[in-house]
Structures are given as structure tokens and as C-alpha cells.
Structure 1
Amino acid sequence: MLIPTVVILGLFYSYKQFFIKTSRSIKRIEGTVRSPIFSHMTASLEGLSTIRAFNNQDVLIEEFDRHQDLHSGAYYLFLSCNRAFGILLDLNCIIYVAIVTVSTFFTASFGGNIGLSITQAMGLTGRMQWGVRQWSETENQMTSVERVLEYSNVDPEEDTNEEPVKDWPHLGGIHFETVSMRYAPSEPLILRNLCIKIKPTEKVGIVGRTGAGKSSLIAALFRLTPSKARYS
């Protein structure tokens, strides 16, 4: 019984090493595609009144279905990988119990030893299988810790702690003077010599077709992209 036990322990360890490389990568993918679902649900709940006002429920449902399909595919692949690993362990346990049972027929002096050997072999394989499964599951769940560590290592934004000057205006206005902006040096200009002056307390709506530069105007206002301009 000792020799088959050593052999099956080595097999279990080799199976675990092979399995964990695949399952860990799938678990990372599953965690990555799960985040957009929560983000989409949060954004949808926050803008529920706007969605209903513009009657865009179907658009949001289709977008949610796409996120859900990606996550379901990754999660199903992870479950299938676990099931295949479990079947492989079960098959080895059956072979191990069969070898122990056959070997006791030639070594045991009376029937009680045969029953004891079979019982101990079945109990041992169950514990070994449970231990290998828990070991693998622990390593898979550590991918969540990896994601937390990645966020903890992100460089924080600089805090300038600069106080405004004494003549800082009490009312906010927006003044664009010949604003030109492009998203990359090799791309054409999105905004070209734009001049806008919005007085304080004024409410202004920006209307235009898709690609007219509405979001680019906001990006220039918040300095999200480099631009050649003078605006305040």
C-alpha cells in the first residue's frame, strides 16, 4: 500500500501544478470581465431617470447582455476546468483503490485485512483529493489579492496644496480663445481655432451631430488632452 500511495501523491501534485496554471489565468480573466458588469449596473441605476426620459432601455439592456455574455463564458470555462480536474482526480482514486484491493488478495492472511485496507485506501484518497482541491482553490482565489495589490501600487495623484491667488474670481466663467486640439500628433485637429465666451451663471447647451466635437470640448476644458490654446 505504501508504493501506490507515494505514486498517487506524486500524480496529484503534478496534476495540481498543471491545472493551477490554466485555472489561475482563467480566474484572472473572469475577474476582469466581471468588473464591467458592476460598473454598468451602477451607472445605469444612477442615470435611470435619464435612460427612461430618452427611452434608451433597450440600448442599456443590450450592453448589459454583452457584458454578461463575456462573464458567463469565462465563468463557464472556469467551472469546466474545475470539473475536468475533479474527474481526473476521481479516476486516479479509482485506480488507486483497485490496485490496493488487488494487492491485498496476494498479501493479506485473512479477510479482515482486506476490508481494512480497502477502507483505509478509500478514506486516504478522499482526504488527499479534498486537500488538493482546497489547495488549488486557495491559489485561484489569490487572484483577487493580486488585483488589490495592483491598485495599491498605483501612483497617487499629486496634491499640490496650492491656495488660489487673492484676486481669484468669485463667479466662474469660461473663456476659450483660439482653442485647437487633437488627440494625437499624427491625427487631424478636432477643434480648430475655437472661440467661446460663457458668462457667469449662464446656462449653455452644446448640440451637434456625432463626431462634431462635443466631448472633445469637454476634454479640452478639463485639460484631458494637450491643446494649443488660451482658455480660462
Structure 2
Amino acid sequence: MCNNASRSLNIRALEKIMHAPMSFFDTTPMGRVLNRFTKDTDALDNEIAEQLRLFCFGIGNMIGILILCCIYMPYFTIVIPFLFMYAVSSFSYYQSTAREVKRIEGVQRSIVYSTFDEILQGSDTIKLYGNTELFINKNKDQINTMNEAYYLTNALQRFFAVTLHFASGCLNLVVTMLCASNAFPISGASSGLLVSYLVSFSMQLIQSSKAAGQLEQLLNSVERVCEYAVDLPQEASYRTEPPNTPSAENWPIQGSISFRDVCLRYRPALPYVLKNLTIDIKPHEKIGICGRTGAGKSTIMTALPCVV
């Protein structure tokens, strides 16, 4: 299931990239695109399925251990809701921070990829001006910034593990004291079975909670790939129906070009380059467009296919 989903999202994202407008490539660093098809795709292919397996494995073991405790100690059922609430509250407190840190790590990784790509493309110019050391230090600083988020993720995981170890230790203490005090009619063999399984309950609780946190954090990669596979703007279709043009004998009927209050801008967020432009070009006229750099000469030529 994970492999099919990853393959489908990757192919759809690649198709969307191939049909994205030029404005997307003008405003998007190449490292951000590369990060989608390298680290994020690797998370979809390998890491998500593995974390999901660990989560299901740990949950199954914990349920079995709790059922075993309830069979030998019926009153132990009272402790389970409190244990569940403590684990959920600790997980929510941990995950609200870890999720955002994971997003920061993904953004910083895109910056590293983008800078590395720029250095590769401009390596001749960098060597010519003797700025090799400057760009090496810049790359090191960006890698260190990315690793700050990575180390913070590990620190949050250790904090969460200590919290769950405390809860599991209290649970082990309670069950061991009940077994040792003969509060329930349990044989020595059954007491040893319960205690041995509860020792592993601590590791199962930490493993499944950590896997659930990792799984939710890795879904950031799914979110980032889906951004390209679903929400990426697209160019017009490559194949369109031919327009209703006049017959070859009567074409062209009229060779004039008329602009009427034409306004044009390259992207919705940018200001207008042409504002209320009105031009009438008669048939058989030869027109030259003169002006300084940035006056809009090429923009007028760009607007020609849009004129009806």
C-alpha cells in the first residue's frame, strides 16, 4: 500500500512539475524541488511503512500485556484509563513541538540543497573571483542550521522517552508490590510471568509512542509531495482543438493589429508592466518599438498572442 501510494504521488508530482508555468520556476529555488524528489520521496518509500509496522507491533504487544494483567488482577483494569490518559497527554505535549521542528528541518534542508546546486552551477565564477572559502563557510553554516533542528528532534525524543519510562516504572512498581503482598491469589510462576512482561511493557510503550510520533512527523513529507502532486498550478493544455480559421484562399482577411487598453503583468502578485496600452497598426505598416531597458518592448511582443 505504501509503495503504491508513493509511486502514484511521485508520478503525479513529476507530471505536475513538467507542466508547471515558468513563473513557478522563477520563484521556487531548485533545492526545494530536489528535496521533494529525494528526501521526501525516500520517506514515502521506506520510512513511513517501517514506522507504521513498529507502531502496530508495539500496540499489539501492549494490548496483550494489559489483557494478561487484567486476567490475573481484575482490579488492575482501573489503572488502564489513567495510564492511557497520561500517555496521550504526554504524546500531545511532545508531538506539538516535534511536528513543527520537523517542518523546520525540511525547510532548512531545502535551503542546503538549493545553495549546493547554486555553487555547482557557478563554481567557475566562484573560483575566478577567489571566493571558494566564502561559499564553503556559507554551506557549513547552513548545514549546521539544519542539524540544529535535527539534534533538537533527538532531544525531544529523549524527553518523551524519559516521561514514558517514569509512567512504566510506576506501573511496574504497583504490579510488583501487588504480587509480593499476595493481594491477589497469584502463584509464584504467574507473578514472575506478569513482572517479566511488564518489564518489556516499558520498551513497547516507548517504541510504539516514538513510532507514532515519527509517523506523524514523516507525514510532513506526504504533505510536501501532495503540494506538488495536487495543488501545483498548471500551464494550458499542450493539445487544444484547432480554432475556426478562415479558408486558405481568403486568409489573411485583414492584417491590422489593435490593442485596446491592454494591461499585462507576469504574475498575480507583481505590478502591471503594461497599463492601458492602446495601439492601432494598419495593414502593410512596418512598426519599430524603441525604448530603454525595461520599458516593455519584449512585453508587448509577449502580449501579442493574448490579443483577440
Q: Same fold (TM over 0.5)?
A: yes
Contact 2:105 2:149 in 1 (8 A): yes
| RMSD after superposition | 2.6
Q: Give TM-score scaled by structure 2 length.
A: 0.51
Unaligned runs of at least 5 residues, structure 2:
1-75, 241-269, 273-289, 302-308
Cα shift readout 1:138-157 (whole Å, capped 9, x = no counterpart): 11110111111122312123
Residue 235 of structure 2: aligned partner? 157
- SS of 1:78's partner is helix
1:123 equivalent in alignment to 2:190: no
Contact 1:24 1:140 in 2 (8 A): yes
Name the CA distance, whole Å, in 1 between partners of 2:202 and 2:94.
19
Q: Which moved more, 1:90-99 or 1:7-16?
A: 7-16
Cα shift readout 1:91-144 (whole Å, capped 9, x = no counterpart): 211111111111222324443333222112223333232222211111111011
Q: Which residue, 93, 106, 113 being the options, matches 1:31?
A: 106
- SS of 2:94's partner is helix
Q: Which residue, 82, 87, 90 being the options, matches 2:165?
A: 90
Residue 141 of structure 1: aligned partner? 218
Code of the aligned partner of 1:229: G
Name the CA distance, whole Å, in 2 between partners of 1:27 and 1:18.
15
1:12 equivalent in alignment to 2:12: no
**Distance change >3 Å, CA 50–CA 102, structure 1 → 2:** same
Residue 133 of structure 2: aligned partner? 58
Code of the aligned partner of 1:138: L
Q: Give TM-score scaled by structure 1 length.
A: 0.66
Higher relative contact order (CA 8 A, sep 6+): 2
Name the CA distance, whole Å, in 2 between partners of 1:45 and 1:57.
12
CA drift of 1:160 comes to: 7.9
Equivalent pairs counted in the alignment come to: 175
Unaligned runs of at least 5 residues, structure 1:
163-182, 186-193, 197-216, 221-227
Name the CA distance, whole Å, in 2 between partners of 1:64 and 1:111.
63
Code of the aligned partner of 1:115: G
Contact 2:291 2:297 in 1 (8 A): no
